[in-house]
């Protein structure tokens, strides 16, 4: 039975891409549809997204953000208003040209992002400094026409929240963009157990239309980096294009300064690629739709199903997310199924356990078996779930550290990029140099971390072009 | 000040349509955008929708439904598979024809509804009776190309949940469709304080592709009816078109039977039109984003703002949704603003109240002023909120009853339709007769209620054509 399951999932070190796809399908997170590049989010995949939503939405409301909803369709003339923005997005826009049988006078973009819709609305509703700050957010899906797609990682349609705020100064907008980057770091590390490296994007990697793009980057098991969340300081770019002005306290008329920021269903792809193993997915307990799977042993024996049901009700009442697998499959099948789906803790309960007033708990991350008395069971389970959450985070940190290396010469850089991971080097700041590195190695500048760039970079040389270095950059091949 | 506000809102009896639009704008529920027929849901409008979502989503999960997400875009060939369905929706589909710079090989519909996407997925994942029932739901927006639009009531894009289920028999699907109609009745009556009439649609009013459409209908203040929720028994129509089969317990291969059902942002339009008055919106407390607005009186006097803050924190801790209006406007302005936005209860707190350890509470529905001691304040507020909720529901029931009339002759029917409200008559069951009534009076058959049609209709004549009657029908002019 175990072999049949293992057979279903490609070995992770042999073919990481196929391993990933196997998990997405076999753990029933997503399914393909007949729409190229769009996925069906199945109950478990969507429940993961709901748990991320719940965490982020609660925190955003605590931070005084308000949810709104902008139209899905964007008239072309609005998209054209901010030059850099339209240049960035035009190649990947899906265009609506017909409504019913009639051709439209102006074609409409299916939103790839909503800066321009928010800008138009802000222009309507902001008049005075009293109207600021405006802290808005929306939970929607967006569409970007992608050539090559993979479930969660790069899909034509994906889900996200997009925050859009207006402030009365450049500094306040900057504080907001950084406050959100911090929140995203918290979401990644506390909820998803994914360690991140925060920093600033180089100009070539900046969001189309932004003044500054802040990013959280993270390493996958295969050593490739993934941009898990971004937060943009938009400056007054959209304010000038859309004439979003307010009367300041001193009576003068000023442009607002804006931010925008997002976390997407891509984070679920990262969750798989950071924590999964050869037996399947591993869900960090805090985000897992099911935290404990109860498997009745010898379930036809008298009292076993009743015992399982009692445990289920008891643990559910304690606020744990628990299921019982009562299907007519054998226990071995159920064990493997629960492991493949990444459920953090398995609870086995059979006649012997009933007799001894105990259950058997099995950790998904370590495989450790723990015999736990019924007395104090809830506390034991909570303790184990915390331990699993911490272990997943600490293990991911160790793996990332092993793959992160600072160097000042190109040979060591090339070797690290080849092996996978972050190669950290001084850099001249020149976009042409950055492009050459990408062309030669396929590695891109992921970010300039706050830690590495606190002080001016003095006396270092850019190993890529030999010029004087201005920044310290994290480079990596990336998703 | 009060006059200025009243001036802002058109008199409800003079011009109901303009009154409605005024409330949508002035209570800041929604705003127009430059996309024809699409609206911006502003924080209060979206918070209303979130409260409806929360109620419905919690109940659906209790009823074992699982949330999923289907792609936004539907390939044309899928839409064409169920003949009646495509005929119903084709005229109102927004078509994506280009991705980036390339013309697509097959055009894609922006989902007007998702029966066909669910059908394709169900065909993939359902194989055995063990896979049934499948109880799925999704929270999304849909697009239907409408000629004339009004915020909430009829918009090109609107928000909804759409439930889609599969069952192993016609009877089980029927039970599910009716279970959902009951849930929607509960949502309308318990949460929104809107009384509904439940029943079956005539064939001409049936959902395109359904076997039976169940509906909840309700009367607005102006006497026009509004279809607030529907639940469809799809029979095996889509199962046959998409080949959704399962192996039954007896080994035979059978088609599934399906349902689909929805509640939409239209319900917010109904909320306005059932409860609002000449001073603005009135929100039923259970769905109101803000239940109590605290207005500090003489807020520059020492201790007043602190008192207001203490009350705010105390009531918030008790689970009430409370705000304090600390703006630099006069109290009279704040009173009117809170009334216009329909906040159920106003709490006035000034120096005199501090001295007397009391506050003044003012009901939005009746205008009644209550002096409430601080001792027991939370209980008093809860009691008043319940009273407001009940009063709104009971008042709406009385207004609906006054406008609902049974008759067996056409003259009385014409007079009732002219005055507004439900005219109930026997009916022959002939679609041509129904179409003639619509042509002559603009009234449509809203539903055949369960109560009126429990027993066969014997010995009655259809007042519209003189033939023998088969059903008893609620007719009305409708939104």
For residue B114, the number of C-alpha atoms closer than 13 Å in the C-beta half-sphere is 27
Q: How confident is the model at residue B2 (pLDDT cuts 50, 70, 90)?
A: very low
Q: Measure the CA–CA gap between B401 and B413, rounded to whole angstroms.
A: 16
Burial (Cβ within 10 Å: 0-12, 13-18, ≥19) of residue A337:
buried
Would you tell me which residues 158-217 of chain A have a C-beta closer than 8 angstroms to some C-beta of chain B? 159
The reply to whether residue A95 touches residue B99, judged by beta carbons under 8 angstroms, is yes
- pLDDT tens digit string along A79-137? 999 888 888 888 899 999 999 989 999 999 999 999 999 999 999 999 999 999 999 99
Torsion (CA) A33, A36, A39, A40 in degrees, nearest 10? -30
Torsion (CA) B182, B185, B190, B195 in degrees, nearest 10? -150
Give the residue ranges of DSSP H helices in B299-447.
Answer: 304-317, 331-340, 351-356, 377-402, 410-419, 431-441
User: Kindly report the CA angle at B417 between B416 and B421, in degrees rounded to 5?
Assistant: 75
Cis ω before B271 (30° cut-off from 0): no
User: What is residue B7's predicted lDDT score, i.e. its pLDDT?
Assistant: 61
Give residue limits of the domains in chain A: 2-275, 292-387, 404-476
Q: A294: closest CA among A340, A222, A349?
A: A349
Contacts of A316 (CB under 8 A, 6+ apart): A322
User: What is residue A7's predicted lDDT score, i.e. its pLDDT?
Assistant: 61
Question: Which of B44, B71, B155 to mutate to probe the A interface, most A CBs <10 Å?
Answer: B71
* For residue A305, pLDDT beyond 60: yes
Q: What is the DSSP letter of A146?
A: -
Superfamily (CATH H level) for B292-385: Anticodon-binding domain (3.40.50.800)
- Span B297-318, mean pLDDT? 97
Q: Which residue bears the tokens 């042999």?
A: A14
| CB < 8 Å to A98, chain B | 94-95, 97, 107
- Span B151-171, mean pLDDT? 97
CATH 3.40.50.800: does it fit domain A292-387?
yes
The reply to whether residue B108 touches residue A35, judged by beta carbons under 8 angstroms, is yes
**Which of A41, A117, A143 minimises the CB distance to B69?**
A41
The reply to whether residue B100 touches residue A108, judged by beta carbons under 8 angstroms, is no
Nearest chain A CA: its distance from B193 CA (Å): 24
B38 Cβ under 8 Å from any chain A Cβ: yes
Would you tell me which residues 149-168 of chain A have a C-beta closer than 8 angstroms to some C-beta of chain B? 156-157, 159
| CB < 8 Å to B73, chain A | 35, 38, 94, 110, 143, 156-157
Nearest chain B CA: its distance from A361 CA (Å): 27
**Which of A46, A68, A327 minimises the CB distance to B43?**
A68
* Structure tokens belonging to residue A358: 């105990």
The reply to whether residue B98 touches residue A100, judged by beta carbons under 8 angstroms, is no
The reply to whether residue B121 touches residue A66, judged by beta carbons under 8 angstroms, is no
| CB < 8 Å to B42, chain A | 68
Would you tell me which residues 425-454 of chain A have a C-beta closer than 8 angstroms to some C-beta of chain B? none
Would you tell me which residues 318-357 of chain A have a C-beta closer than 8 angstroms to some C-beta of chain B? 327
**Which of B49, B94, B120 minimises the CB distance to A34?**
B120
Phi, psi of B71 (to 5 degrees): -60, 150
The reply to whether residue A90 touches residue B96, judged by beta carbons under 8 angstroms, is no
Q: How many CB atoms lie within 10 A of CB A391?
A: 16
* For residue A6, pLDDT beyond 60: no
Q: Measure the CA–CA gap between A10 and A25, rounded to whole angstroms.
A: 12
Q: What is the average pLDDT value for chain B, to the nearest integer?
A: 96
Residue of B nearest to A49 (CA): B68
Write the CA distances from B255 to A270, B81, B240, integer angstroms.
39, 16, 7
Which secondary structure element, helix H or strand E, spans residue B143, and what is its range? strand B134-143
Q: How confident is the model at residue B139 (pLDDT cuts 50, 70, 90)?
A: very high
Q: Measure the CA–CA gap between A106 and A77, rounded to whole angstroms.
A: 8
- pLDDT tens digit string along A336-359? 999 999 999 999 999 999 999 999
- pLDDT tens digit string along B36-50? 899 999 999 999 999
The reply to whether residue B97 touches residue A100, judged by beta carbons under 8 angstroms, is no
Residue A52 Ramachandran class (φ > 0 left, ψ -120 to 50 alpha, else beta)? alpha
3-class SS of residue A28: coil
CATH code, residues A2-275: 3.30.930.10
- pLDDT tens digit string along B241-292? 999 999 999 999 999 999 999 999 999 999 999 999 999 999 999 999 999 9
Q: What is the DSSP letter of A191?
A: I
Nearest chain A CA: its distance from B89 CA (Å): 9
| CB < 8 Å to B69, chain A | 40-41, 46, 49, 141, 159
A96 Cβ under 8 Å from any chain B Cβ: yes
* For residue B120, pLDDT beyond 60: yes
Q: What is the DSSP letter of A29?
A: S
The reply to whether residue A67 touches residue B73, judged by beta carbons under 8 angstroms, is no
* Structure tokens belonging to residue B449: 């209620």
CATH code, residues A404-476: 3.30.110.30
B125 Cβ under 8 Å from any chain A Cβ: yes
B136 Cβ under 8 Å from any chain A Cβ: yes
Would you tell me which residues 250-269 of chain A have a C-beta closer than 8 angstroms to some C-beta of chain B? none
Task: Tell me the pairing of strands B212-219 and B225-235.
Answer: antiparallel
**Which of B34, B117, B143 minimises the CB distance to A72?**
B143
B97 Cβ under 8 Å from any chain A Cβ: yes
User: What is residue B1's predicted lDDT score, i.e. its pLDDT?
Assistant: 42
Cis ω before B133 (30° cut-off from 0): yes
**Which of B33, B40, B67 minimises the CB distance to A50?**
B67
Contacts of A54 (CB under 8 A, 6+ apart): none
Sign of the alpha-carbon dihedral angle for B173, B174, B179, B185 = positive
Give the count of Cβ contacts less than 8 A between chain A and B. Answer: 156
The reply to whether residue B38 touches residue A136, judged by beta carbons under 8 angstroms, is no
- pLDDT tens digit string along B416-459? 999 999 999 999 999 999 999 999 999 999 999 999 999 999 99
A129 Cβ under 8 Å from any chain B Cβ: no
The answer to whether B134 touches B126, Cβ cutoff 8 Å, is: yes
A42 Cβ under 8 Å from any chain B Cβ: yes
| CB < 8 Å to A149, chain B | none
Taking the model in full, what pTM does it have? Answer: 0.96
Lowest mean pLDDT among A3-12, A269-278, A358-367, B414-423: A3-12
The reply to whether residue A71 touches residue B46, judged by beta carbons under 8 angstroms, is no
For residue B350, the number of C-alpha atoms closer than 13 Å in the C-beta half-sphere is 10
Would you tell me which residues 49-68 of chain B have a C-beta closer than 8 angstroms to some C-beta of chain A? 49-50, 66-68
**Which of B40, B98, B156 minimises the CB distance to A95?**
B98
- Span A217-239, mean pLDDT? 98
B98 Cβ under 8 Å from any chain A Cβ: yes
Q: What is the DSSP letter of A91?
A: G
User: Kindly report the CA angle at A180 between A176 and A183, in degrees rounded to 5?
Assistant: 140
For residue A4, the number of C-alpha atoms closer than 13 Å in the C-beta half-sphere is 7
Q: Which residue bears the tokens 């929604």?
A: B30
The answer to whether A30 touches A40, Cβ cutoff 8 Å, is: yes
* For residue A242, pLDDT beyond 90: yes
The answer to whether B214 touches B201, Cβ cutoff 8 Å, is: yes
B92 Cβ under 8 Å from any chain A Cβ: yes
Q: How confident is the model at residue A1 (pLDDT cuts 50, 70, 90)?
A: very low
Residue of B nearest to A32 (CA): B121
Question: Which of A94, A111, A264 to mutate to probe the B interface, most B CBs <10 Å?
Answer: A94
The reply to whether residue B96 touches residue A93, judged by beta carbons under 8 angstroms, is no
């Amino acid at each position: 039975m175990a072999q049949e399951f293992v057979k279903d999932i490609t070995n992770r070190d042999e073919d990481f891409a196929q391993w990933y796809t196997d998990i997405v399908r076999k753990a029933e997170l997503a399914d393909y549809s007949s729409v190229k590049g769009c996925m069906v989010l199945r109950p478990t995949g969507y429940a993961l997204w709901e748990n991320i939503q719940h965490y982020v939405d609660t925190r955003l409301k605590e931070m005084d953000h308000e949810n709104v909803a902008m139209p899905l369709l964007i008239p072309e003339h609005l998209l054209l208003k901010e030059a850099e923005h339209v240049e960035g997005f035009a190649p990947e826009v899906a265009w609506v040209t017909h409504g019913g049988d009639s051709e439209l006078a102006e074609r409409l973009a299916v939103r790839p992002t909503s800066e321009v819709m928010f800008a138009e609305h802000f222009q309507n509703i902001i008049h005075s400094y009293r109207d600021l700050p405006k802290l808005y957010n929306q939970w929607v899906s967006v569409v970007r026409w992608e050539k090559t797609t993979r479930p969660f990682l790069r899909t034509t349609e994906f889900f996200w929240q997009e925050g859009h705020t207006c402030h009365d100064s450049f500094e306040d907008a900057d504080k907001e963009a950084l406050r959100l980057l911090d929140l995203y770091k918290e979401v990644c590390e506390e909820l998803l157990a994914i360690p991140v490296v925060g920093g600033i994007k180089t100009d070539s990697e900046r969001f189309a239309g932004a003044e500054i793009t802040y990013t959280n980057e993270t390493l996958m098991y295969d050593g490739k980096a993934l941009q898990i969340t971004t937060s943009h300081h938009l400056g007054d770019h959209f304010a000038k294009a859309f004439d979003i002005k307010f009367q300041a306290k001193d009576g003068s008329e000023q442009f607002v300064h804006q931010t925008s920021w997002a976390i997407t269903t891509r984070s679920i792809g990262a969750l798989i690629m950071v924590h999964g193993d050869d037996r399947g997915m591993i869900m960090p307990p805090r985000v897992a739709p099911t935290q404990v799977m109860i498997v009745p042993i010898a379930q036809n024996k008298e009292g076993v199903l009743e015992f399982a049901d009692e445990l289920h009700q008891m643990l559910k009442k304690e606020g744990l997310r628990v299921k019982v697998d009562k299907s007519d499959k054998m226990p071995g099948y159920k064990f493997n199924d629960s492991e493949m789906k990444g459920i953090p803790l398995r609870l086995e309960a059979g006649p012997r356990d009933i007799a001894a007033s105990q259950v058997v708990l099995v950790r998904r991350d370590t495989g450790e078996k723990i015999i736990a008395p019924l007395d104090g069971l809830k506390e034991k389970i909570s303790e184990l779930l915390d331990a699993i959450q911490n272990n997943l985070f600490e293990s991911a940190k160790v793996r990332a550290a092993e793959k992160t290396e600072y160097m000042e010469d190109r040979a060591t850089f090339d070797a690290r990029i080849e092996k996978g991971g972050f190669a950290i080097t001084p850099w001249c700041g020149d976009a042409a140099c950055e492009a050459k590195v990408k062309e030669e190695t396929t590695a891109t500048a992921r970010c300039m971390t706050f830690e590495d760039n606190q002080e001016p970079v003095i006396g270092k040389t850019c190993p890529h072009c030999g010029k004087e270095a201005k920044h310290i950059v994290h480079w990596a091949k990336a998703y």
